[in-house]
Structure 1
Amino acid sequence: MEPSSSGGDDLDLNLDLDLDTLIGDLETASNVPAKRRKTGIKPTVERTTELLYGRGGLPDELARLVDLLTTRNHLDQASLGAIVRNLYPSAKVSDELVLRFVGALGHGQLKPSLPLQALFLRWLVMVYHLLQNPAILSQAYAVLFNLLDTAAIRPQLCHLLALATRRKHVRPFRIQALLSLSRQTGGDPNLTGLLRVFKNYYPEIIVGDLTKGRAASFKHPDPQWRAKLDEIQQQRSERQDDGATRNGFAVNHALGRQLKGTKALFPTVHTLHAQESSVTLEEIDNAESFVKNLEKIELPTQLVAVLADPLLQKFLLLRPDAEGSSRIRNWLMACLGDVASGDADSDIFLDMLDVIHDYAVATKTLSPLLLTFFAQFLGVWNGSDKRDMVLEALSYIPVMEFQELHKMLQMLEQSVLDNTPASQVSLLRFYTLLLRRWTIAMEETESLDALPVATVPNLIDYINQLALTLTQTSPAVSTCLDILDLYEAAATLYSKPKRLEHMEITIPPPLLVYLLYFSPSLAVVSRLCGILATYKRAWEAVMSSAVPRQLTRRERDQINVFNGFLMDLCNCLWRGRAFSTTDVNAQGCRLPQSIQTALGSYMSAADPEFSLGTAFGLSHSPLLCLQSISYVRGLEDAEMEAIRARHGGPVTQASLGQLAVRGGLKLSWQEYRSGVLAYLEAKGFPGVPELMYNTMKNLMRARRQ
């Protein structure tokens, strides 16, 4: 039953009240013998199980139902069994519920029937991953273990014990009891399965042929029930977050059962051949225990599990181990060797990528062993399968010497580039992400002397060619925005004196700057101007006492080119001298003189009042003319009662004087241009104002005042 769009909240409340009423009816009926009841209880049970199946039970509702199930009453076994089978929790399972079920186990007149107890244990197995405190079963371990001689509940009990067993639970007296009980029962597969769990912790103690017999696999009792439970949990979390968080300080013991297909390649955490006095990761269940025993913890047998287990990741980050790194590297290289020799399918790499990607995201870096893996992987990768995942993982490459990095980048480009703009854009986005990661790494580093930051300008210089190529192969606005993302990341790198002290500034190619500036998008032009303003501040910092170093020869050559950018853009936007080459450093936007002459003749023929020099200013630019006249219209609307005339077209210094004579706005040319800059900033285009205020001396003085 789905709630309507208009009354969903009311309907949800009604369902809660309905189940609450039904539980009350069951509690009342449980105190009355069946023969004395005026009405049958079956419809109430059916309605209760229907609601539990549909949306699960809230903690308070489950608590009442568990009380009903674990107390001797007059409800028939079929009704009680139906309730247990549909006892879907919609949130975490509390310690109280677990202890109520555990306390109901065993023999006695007041205990529930053994078939019902078996259902209790089966339910605990199926909700084990939802226990609010998994350690509660560890506290009740002795009680559960002592019930193994009860054959009716032994299969479910062994399964629950297998989930709850940790190294501290494996004691000689328990091993002896299990061996003895297994002999008495003729090698019960469930006991054999539990013995194998014990043997994982102490293989040198548990010997004999008993553990070699047929053993229970302890699979999930009902996958369909689990699927329904997951659906209920998801629905509830979407409507109301219960605030539960995953415990990252415990080994994911269910990983082997949860991982399927590709991720099953990675083993789970197990520590074999452990000593009595040692501590294993499997024993850790909280942050306090992890910190207390950090120096005592033994390395697990399969260290490659670090790629999939968060606790082992924390352990190896806090206590690095050269031998451990070598073991992980050997495992990965063995997989690579199998593929290279043809003994394994190359798809195994793609299968491993999911886990390696998650590991890189979790640790925020690529260790040397994973760099070695990717160096081999790129040689067999087709460049398209899981491309986004590969590129995101590689974006965690640490800052390294450029020669070493260049080798890997060349291999990456050979795999990714396929003569399509899409592959070039993917690579450009990768470089953008890489620069952002490096910025974070440098910000977190106390001394940049330890990092080869000289790689940064070399890398930007290397990427410049790709960005320039994209303006030709894919001149769309979206591509221009991707290119600007790259140079925003580069400009951010140069925004702190701390970093400028150790690295040279590398500017974008001149042709790229002019192509972006004459883009048909105001957003592109605004962002470009903002980036150039950031670069200008970086140059000023390097040339001042804020950065204690001198300009390099390469930087001196670049700064003249950069000043040409600024002069050309200011000539276009502010000074009414577009494409002029008469000023110092002006390059005329690198437009040949023959083309300038042709364009000037065309504009004069179209309208003698227009000129090429003013065609790209605030008033006449195709990108800025609407914003400029909108600013004037806004002023006129605000002064409607005080003016007799409105401005008719693009604003010029002469037209403003004429407008005032005709009774229109009294607005000076400088006030108009400053107002347009403020208007652009208010409309979400701050780049042009930022560049002008950082470049034009008269605007700088006006802003200081």
Structure 2
Amino acid sequence: MPSIAEEQPSLGDALESLHKASRTPAKQRTVKVSGVINVICRHAFAYGLDEDALDAVVHIAARKTQLDQTSVTTLIKNLYPAQRVSGDVIVTIVAALGQGKGKPSPGTQDSLVKWLALIHVIIEDASVLSRLYGVLFAMLDMISIRTSLCHLLSLITRRKHVKPFRIQQLLELSRGLGNEPALQGLLRVYKDYYPDIILGSASTSRKSFAPQPDAEWRARVRTIQEARTAADDTTSERHNGFKVLRHGSKRTKASVLPDVHTYHATESSVTLEGIDSVDAFVERLDRIEPPGQLIPFLTDPLLQKYVELKPSPVVSARIGLWLATCLEEQVGAAAQDTGDSAFLTELLDGLLQHARYTKTLLPIVPAFLKEYLTVWDGRDHVDAVLGLLAYIPEDSFDDLYTEYLSPAERALSSNGLSAYTRLVGFYTEMLQHRVSTLAQQRPERRQPALISPEQQFLKDSVSHFAAFSTSLILSLPSEEGAELVSSTLAYWELLSTSSKPHVIPIILPPMHLVYYLMQSSPAVLVSRICGIIGSYKQAFDAHPRPVKHYYPSEVTDGLNWCLRDVYNLFWVARGLAVAEQKSVGMYCDPSLRSSLNDYLSGLDHEYAIGHAFGLSNNAWLASMSFAAWHALEEQVIDREGYDRGSIRWHTGPVSQQSLAVIRNGGVDVDWEGANGYKVFVLNWLAERGLGGLREFMFATVTDLKTGQTSAS
């Protein structure tokens, strides 16, 4: 009796069966070929085909066989490579094209050419199609594959392929066939390289260019290849930066940034369009002719490299003149509310992309922003405008704020909470840029912190952000401001880990904000705050001694008091304790602390205010701490081989006294020490994304840093 679910053959068995079926007439087969193809296609979709499997399927599809057309087409449509495609596979496919006794059907050849167009960006040897260009071009007289072949050639054509005899052949084909869309598209590509040789204008339509790649097919290939090879950029269609960027048939007519074209070029000219590798770019840099328009350098990686590596006053003047005229028109249009939003979006995105590439702004941009911010509505182009503002090269923060940031804040202030969150993100991006710039400097001499203009700018900007973000957090209900608080902590996380002695000063957050968030936030934010304070402690530990020569006592005293307050709160039973010149007790008045302690003692004699905020009793951590205890308890029981039926289980909450009691009939676990309960809880929380408290304690408690048993 057959089983209900038959075991599927392996990929190797399926490929062997397919090979036999391809040589056997349909009526003589003992295996149903559709089932075999189904196995191969399912495996290809789920895991991709490795080099051997892909080669085996292509060899079957690339010759005349006994398989029906539907089966072969299905195989080709499911050729998902698990890695980059080898040059041998490409050669096999190209050899299968054309007319001949052993060649596959015209429909199969067309499917194979379309597949080449799909995978041309993930070929192992990118030059293999270029070397086969002449073979492919010679097959343009084949009606059955001409459309797909024109699309493929349009994708791989470079200046070196555009020869006079090929231009002549294309023109003759065009005259003989009329306005065949795909052929006109290929002719247009040729015309882009030699506009003075190919006269007239090739009439193009949507069908003239290769269709957009099947998004689902490409997404599946990316998923397969990323799973197989951690992170290989070549699997994701990313531009390699050493070819001219082409936007293809989807480009809008109103686009402000044209493609790169070199006009009046001859066959001996060296142009950017003819560059296809880093070696070619380096070898020909001194001989490359500038393109007709230079403004595409905002988005084209190759033209950016050319402009940066071969600077010229003429080039700079051409770029500046174009931008000055265009940006002035955009400011005027925005003031009259007649601007083209899509046009300005593309322009601003290009300027931002250039700024992120060069880490500087073009000279015209600050002047444009100063004018544009006076008419900006705070709704359009927010990301681009804020992104550009982060690179404004001002020496004085007061000047920067007056001229740029204050107008931006006013424009955004009427657009709701999300606008404030974006502003916080902007200040974080500006901090990142300033910190990166400062980090490249070498200290000339040892001096007190915040002396140099760069450091003073950083201090002023941080002070403004502290007041700005604190005001926002205190003004909003906690349930509405969670994203804002998270973005604010991201700023302080960056700053707390960026200090560099004598270069990037240590600048603390306002301690009243730290205390406020410490007492009003969920566990994940409390953990992040502890991590920030722990990072500042590590920064001062790594700073040259004596620290008081570089920072005033109010800075170090403020951090020391905060360290002791957090330590008292979570680690020892002294929560909210005030000690003169040592701790401020989270700003809790001593009389209030005493009243709270009396209240708790009245509920139960074991309750006390000092214990209320520890790991076991803290309102935000108690449930997780007890889950950590259960994990530790189970671990000890398994290690020691205790009888689960007779063991005395801890019912919580865990304390030093309860651990001493539970040893009689239960597990034996220390309260402190490297293998104790408290350290286990810290590690358990860190494993679940709440590592800030662990970072704080290991940075603060000397015994934990040295691995010794800690004392209360």
Both structures adopt the same fold (TM-score exceeding 0.5): yes
Report the Cα offset of residue 454 of structure 1. 3.3
Partner residue, 2:449: none
Report the Cα offset of residue 165 of structure 1. 3.3
Match among 489, 497, 505 for residue 492 of structure 1: 497
Report the Cα offset of residue 492 of structure 1. 0.6
CA 1:516–1:157 in structure 2 vs 1: closer, same or farther (change >3 Å)? Answer: closer
Aligned residue identity for 1:305:
P
CA 1:382–1:39 in structure 2 vs 1: closer, same or farther (change >3 Å)? Answer: farther
Do 1:148 and 1:157's aligned partners in 2 also have CA atoms closer than 8 Å? yes
Partner residue, 2:340: 345
Partner residue, 1:475: 478
- Aligned ranges 1:77-156 → 2 under 5 Å: 83=72, 87-88=76-77, 89-91=79-81, 95-96=87-88, 98-99=90-91, 133=125, 135-143=127-135
Partner residue, 1:683: 684
Report the Cα offset of residue 511 of structure 1. 1.8
- Aligned ranges 1:353-432 → 2 under 5 Å: 383=378, 390=384, 393=387, 397=391, 401=395, 402-403=397-398, 405-406=400-401, 407-418=403-414, 420-432=416-428
Aligned residue identity for 1:303:
L
SS at match of 1:293: helix
Aligned residue identity for 1:333:
L
Report the Cα offset of residue 467 of structure 1. 3.3
SS at match of 1:294: helix
Aligned residue identity for 1:270:
H
Partner residue, 2:247: 255
CA 1:55–1:266 in structure 2 vs 1: closer, same or farther (change >3 Å)? Answer: farther
SS at match of 1:683: helix
Partner residue, 2:59: 64
- Aligned ranges 1:238-317 → 2 under 5 Å: 245=235, 246=237, 248-251=240-243, 255-257=247-249, 259=250, 266-317=257-308
> Does residue 1:535 correspond to 2:536, yes or no?
yes
Distance 2:251 2:545 in 1: 60
Match among 561, 565, 576 for residue 562 of structure 2: 565
Partner residue, 1:34: none
Partner residue, 2:461: 459
Report the Cα offset of residue 404 of structure 1. 5.5
CA 1:415–1:13 in structure 2 vs 1: closer, same or farther (change >3 Å)? Answer: farther
Match among 319, 323, 327 for residue 333 of structure 1: 327
Distance 2:652 2:272 in 1: 79
Match among 191, 216, 219 for residue 208 of structure 2: 219
SS at match of 1:468: helix
Distance 2:615 2:99 in 1: 91
Distance 1:647 1:152 in 2: 79
Report the Cα offset of residue 410 of structure 1. 3.0
> 1:594-649 CA distances to partner (integer Å, 9 max, x unpaired)?
645654664565567766566556787656778999999979988999x9999998
> 1:480-525 CA distances to partner (integer Å, 9 max, x unpaired)?
555433322221123x32xxx1344332223212212323645544
Distance 2:611 2:111 in 1: 85
Report the Cα offset of residue 573 of structure 1. 5.7
Match among 582, 585, 589 for residue 586 of structure 2: 589
Distance 2:126 2:496 in 1: 49
Report the Cα offset of residue 408 of structure 1. 3.8
CA 1:330–1:59 in structure 2 vs 1: closer, same or farther (change >3 Å)? Answer: farther
Gaps of 5+ in 1: 30-36
CA 1:502–1:27 in structure 2 vs 1: closer, same or farther (change >3 Å)? Answer: same
Aligned residue identity for 1:682:
N
Do 1:104 and 1:117's aligned partners in 2 also have CA atoms closer than 8 Å? yes
Report the Cα offset of residue 428 of structure 1. 3.0
Q: RMSD of the alignment, in Å?
A: 5.9
CA 1:379–1:543 in structure 2 vs 1: closer, same or farther (change >3 Å)? Answer: same
**Alignment length (residue pairs):** 665
Output the TM-score relative to the length of structure 2. 0.70
CA 1:17–1:656 in structure 2 vs 1: closer, same or farther (change >3 Å)? Answer: closer
Q: If you compute each CA radius of gyration, which structure gives the higher value, 1 or 2?
A: 1
Partner residue, 1:551: 550
Distance 1:609 1:45 in 2: 75
Report the Cα offset of residue 591 of structure 1. 3.6
> 1:521-570 CA distances to partner (integer Å, 9 max, x unpaired)?
4554454344334324444555715x7x9436xx4443343344345445
Partner residue, 2:448: none
Do 2:255 and 2:343's aligned partners in 1 also have CA atoms closer than 8 Å? no
Distance 1:666 1:94 in 2: 62
- Aligned ranges 1:17-36 → 2 under 5 Å: 21-22=17-18, 24-29=20-25
Aligned residue identity for 1:201:
Y
> 1:347-369 CA distances to partner (integer Å, 9 max, x unpaired)?
44446677667666767776666
CA 1:267–1:55 in structure 2 vs 1: closer, same or farther (change >3 Å)? Answer: farther
Distance 1:59 1:616 in 2: 62
CA 1:593–1:299 in structure 2 vs 1: closer, same or farther (change >3 Å)? Answer: same
Aligned residue identity for 1:459:
S
Do 1:159 and 1:218's aligned partners in 2 also have CA atoms closer than 8 Å? no
Partner residue, 1:32: none
Distance 1:255 1:11 in 2: 45
- Aligned ranges 1:509-658 → 2 under 5 Å: 509-519=510-520, 521-539=522-540, 544=545, 550-551=549-550, 555-569=552-566, 583-584=580-581, 586-592=583-589, 595-596=592-593, 599=596, 602-603=599-600, 606=603, 616=613, 622=619
Aligned residue identity for 1:168:
K
Report the Cα offset of residue 248 of structure 1. 0.7
Do 2:517 and 2:526's aligned partners in 1 also have CA atoms closer than 8 Å? yes
Distance 2:706 2:126 in 1: 67
SS at match of 2:195: coil
Gaps of 5+ in 2: 446-451
Report the Cα offset of residue 286 of structure 1. 2.1
SS at match of 2:63: helix
> 1:46-92 CA distances to partner (integer Å, 9 max, x unpaired)?
997998799689632453245425xxx9x89xx66995797434336
Distance 1:232 1:616 in 2: 50
Report the Cα offset of residue 435 of structure 1. 3.6
Distance 1:54 1:663 in 2: 56
Output the TM-score relative to the length of structure 1. 0.70
Identify which range, 130-139 or 270-279, moves more after superposition. Answer: 130-139
> 1:294-343 CA distances to partner (integer Å, 9 max, x unpaired)?
33333333434344444334444544563465367348626734742555
Aligned residue identity for 1:165:
T
Identify which range, 296-305 or 137-146, moves more after superposition. Answer: 137-146
